[in-house]
């Protein structure tokens, strides 16, 4: 997932999860399976460790070409989200990336048998 970096002068960032309201038409935008109480949020720092053809800039990452054979490189664990928390779940604050247009993260399930599909427009 890609998030815009706040304007200059902002040093601390955090990611927050807020599920759609219970009776909203948007509830179908999220499909989950299994224990979704511990979802790791990792900052991705390079497009690939194994391919020289892939751009190393995360701002230019091509999501259509991602595969398990060419995974982006994880950097810092930014926090853990509980997708069942209401009204929201928020990571602890972390240093906003400098010199980039966006923060690119991977959301990783800590347990097996878990999936989460998000639709965003």
Instruction: State pLDDT tens for residues 42-86.
Output: 998 877 765 444 445 676 777 787 777 777 888 899 999 998 888
Confidence label for 3 from pLDDT (cuts 50, 70 and 90): confident
Q: What is the total count of domains within the chain?
A: 1
DSSP per residue over the chain, as a string? -EEEPPPTT--EE--EE-PPPTTSGGGGGEEEES--S-EEEEEEEES-SS-SSS-S-GGG--GGG-BTTBPPEEEEEEEEE-TT-SS-EEPPPEEPPSS-SEEEEEEEESSTT-EEEE---
Rounded (5°) CA angle 113-117-120: 165
Mean pLDDT of 14-42: 82
Confidence label for 121 from pLDDT (cuts 50, 70 and 90): low
Q: Which residue has the higher pLDDT, 92 or 60?
A: 92
Domain, as residue range, for 51:
2-118
């Amino acid at each position: 997932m890609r998030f815009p970096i706040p304007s200059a002068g902002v040093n601390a960032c955090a990611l927050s999860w807020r599920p759609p309201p219970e009776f909203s038409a948007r509830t179908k935008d999220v499909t989950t399976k299994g224990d979704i109480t511990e979802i790791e949020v990792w900052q991705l720092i390079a497009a690939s460790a194994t391919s020289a053809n892939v751009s190393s800039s995360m701002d230019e990452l091509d999501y259509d070409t991602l595969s398990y054979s060419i995974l982006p490189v994880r950097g810092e664990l930014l926090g853990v989200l509980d997708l069942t928390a209401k009204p929201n779940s928020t990571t602890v604050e972390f240093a906003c990336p400098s010199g980039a247009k966006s923060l690119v993260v991977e959301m990783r399930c800590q347990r097996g048998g878990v999936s989460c599909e998000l639709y965003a427009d």
